[in-house]
Chains A and B, each alone.
Chain A
Amino acid sequence: MAMNTLHDGFSEKGALIERHWQELNARRRLYTWLGLAILAVALSGSLWFANETNAGKFFDRLPHLFDFVGDMVPRDGLEVFRALFDLPSPYDDGSFKYNYPEGRLYIAESFYIPEYFHKMLETLNIALFSTIIGMFFGFLLCFLAAKNLVANRLLRGFVRRFMEILRAFPEVVLAGFFLAILSLGPLPAVIAVSIHTVGALGKLFFEVVENADMKAEEGLRAVGASWIERVWFGIVPQVMPNFMSYFLLRLEINVRASTIIGAVGGGGIGELLRLSIGQNHQAKTLAIVLLLLITIIAVDQFSAWLRRRLVGDQAFRLAQ
């Protein structure tokens, strides 16, 4: 377009530069379109494949997309609260669907914890406990994987690969394996989530350690401190706020993870949710979804607040 008119105004060298620029631009545009085309092909292939291997076809099932709303409409609004607090229902016909008081956990003669709150607590405990275990081992491992603290390539590489494997190993397999050994209960879920957390936190931790200011460590080295002393007094105080912040972020993720693990047999609220959706218990489903939603929002808010206090107001926006 404007190329010819521009040419006139340029010196010979200027025109050369201009031509190079145009070429570069054209090439970049070509790459962009090529990339988009590949993406489009991959996407349409994927969609076709997904639709082809699904039990129901997309367009056949589309009218049923919002069927799940029907799964959540109880007979009356108060049913949800009866289900949530294990109060007897006026519709009780002896079936499991309306038998809310069934799972009460009595602590005293007339004081009980409603089933869902108890299971939610179990899920929260799974998340918190396994995050703590993960933090403990991740903390121990991360210093061995940091380039600025360990000169030995082999050791560093080994620790990193080890953490990568822990991170990538499917949680559901760990849960299933320990379920087979330990029999039912929340402990398999704890182990599965912990192992994953060790890998995930370990990676984040060693990246923080590698970005730490080495001056304090140098000072300690100058006065002859041992490796452990250098790490403990030179590095740990710097990185601890970030570690805690990652710990809290991981806690948020683990609350979700332990719910999912629960649904595949690890106990806790996830299992109840899966059962109640599967058996079409509207009030119970809605009660569990509400409880989960509130808990997750509460945990997220609490963790965000604590993180802001720990690492200051500069936004800590790291994806996981």
Chain B
Amino acid sequence: MTTLNPAEMDEIAARHPAVFHRSFWQRFRVAIIAGGFVLYALYCWWFFAIGHVLGTANWNIAGTYLADWVSYEVRPEVTIAPDGAMKLTYPRFSPLGPNAEPDWVEIERGTMTRTMPAAEASSTTVKKPASMGFMGEGAVLGGSAAAAEGMATATTREEEVVKRARITLNSSTSVEVVPDRVTVEHAGQTLLVALDNGAMKIDGDLPAWATQKRPGEKITLAFGFAGWGEIEAGDVSIRRRFLGWANFIFDTNSPFHGKSTSEVFSLIASADRIDPKQSNLSLAWNNILYNAEWQHLDVWTKLLQTIVMAFVGTLFAMLLAFPLAFLAARNITRNWFSNQITKRLFDFLRSVDMLIWALFFTRAFGPGPLAGISAIFFTDTGTLGKLYSEALENIDDKQREGVKSVGAAPVAVQRYGVLPQVMPLFASQALYFWESNTRSATIIGAVGAGGIGLKLWEAMRTNSDWENVAYMVLLILIVVFVFDGISNALRSRLMGKPAH
């Protein structure tokens, strides 16, 4: 291989000055732009106080919320009265429904003689019916069914109570409660808490999975995904986490709740009506649609609203932008005024944000899809009009001339000289916007413009319905992917090139 001598090198350098003598900007622009971005990122770090926000964020909650997307908790609670009478309750709206006796909660019942001071007894009497009604009938397991009767006078009586409760969370985790002791086993370690008249005493050291802020205060148990629990002097509450969505098809009020698939089908097929007014099939369908927890009908309606908003909004925008674009295109309408007026109208419609239109139309039409349709229609008339008029200005003039030269009327010139050139592009752009509006319709819904957005937002605000959020997100993702596919397929057919 021959090497260059210095003279040849100089010659080459002289011949290509653009390569060898580049300006300062050309040489360092990458570094300058990158440095600018870094500086800006630092500024934003300060402006948004990112370090502070991330530091104070509640990351434990994040894990729980994320777990809530795909799982649910069942919350048995053992309360221990000062005299040692225990009872086991589930909160109202427990996913297991009233009267649940899951096999992972072992209960040993017994009777005991309870002495009640008259004052307390009478106060219990007053409270009891209300709380019974509130808890749902039979939700109090092990409590006395006859508690309300004659309590004001009697001070001593036999009562059926829970003697021992053992809650198993998984093979290595269990909590056992007897009146004077709580035994927690997790990951091979055992925590013993002695309970004595409202006082707690821990035997030995606390394992790593149990925390207590101050001696005597409640102990928090963390079992990872299996759940968590809290021990207080008279109250042991456990949350066991199950993977899946609870009561997705039938809620706890439905007669079909808790039955296996084959049982449900045989019930539906059987002629004995559960509800004499309607057949079992329609009862089952009604129960699914009006599932109190998942609200299938409402969610589907709202989702359909979102789809409709995007579809009608984009279609109307296309229909209006189409004629206006002919007015706006310089080469079609040779009138400076009409060009400028329509173009500025497009700019105005586009620049007033979809949010602003959505907020205004929500006031005009009330919350609902009409507001969303109008908002999408107004914004996209601007955007599509701009794109269409630019496409028209870039058409090939020869075809128009050809049609014109044979004496065609102006409308025929547009129809046969212009439309065939731009129609695929127009349709393709409208499809693209239909697809992207399906996505943005979700978000303007959150300000009240109809659709699933508001429902999503409300489900998130309570911070306890993340599984409903997951359900809606899943539906939205399916819709978006299906529409992406349809729109891509149609567009590639229109434009005559394969979809990517």
A positions within 8 Å CB-CB of B: 39, 42-43, 46-47, 49-51, 53-56, 58, 61, 64-68, 71, 122, 125, 128-129, 132, 164-165, 168-173, 176-177, 179-183, 185-187, 190, 207, 210, 256-257, 259-261, 263-264, 270, 273-274, 277, 289, 292-293, 296-297, 300, 315, 317, 319-320
Contact = CB atoms under 8 A, between A and B. Distances in A.
Contact of A53 (B65, B368, B476): B368
A49 B359 CA distance: 21
B312 A46 contact: yes
Contact of A170 (B47, B53, B443): B443
Contacts of B41: 129, 132
Contacts of B353: 256, 259-260, 292, 296
A176 B360 CA distance: 23
A300 B469 CA distance: 35
A11 B394 CA distance: 42
Interface string B414-455: 000000000000000100110010011011101100100100
Q: Which of B57, B360, B373, B453: most chain A CB closer than 10 A?
A: B360
Nearest to B302: A53
15 contacts: A47-B312, A49-B369, A54-B370, A61-B364, A65-B365, A168-B476, A169-B477, A180-B65, A181-B59, A183-B53, A183-B56, A260-B444, A263-B355, A273-B355, A319-B383
A42 B354 CA distance: 24
Contacts of A125: 44, 47-48
Given A170-B443, A289-B356, A177 B53 contact: no
Interface residues of A, dominant DSSP:
helix
Interface string B445-477: 011001001001100110100000100010011
Interface of B: 37, 40-41, 44, 47-50, 53-54, 56-59, 61-62, 65, 301, 304-305, 308-309, 311-312, 315, 347, 351-356, 359-361, 363-371, 373, 383, 387, 390-391, 394, 429, 432-433, 436, 439-440, 442-444, 446-447, 450, 453, 456-457, 460-461, 463, 469, 473, 476-477, 480-481, 484, 500
B456 A263 contact: no
A164 B485 CA distance: 12
A263 B454 CA distance: 12
Given A50-B370, A67-B363, A43 B446 contact: no
A142 B158 CA distance: 74
B456 A172 contact: yes
A257 B379 CA distance: 13
Contact of A50 (B305, B446, B453): B305
B52 to A, nearest CB: 9
Contacts of A257: 443
Contacts of A39: 315
Q: Which of B315, B394, B446: most chain A CB closer than 10 A?
A: B446
A256 B391 CA distance: 24
B368 A273 contact: no
B477 A176 contact: no
A47 B353 CA distance: 24
Given A260-B354, A273-B359, A54 B460 contact: no
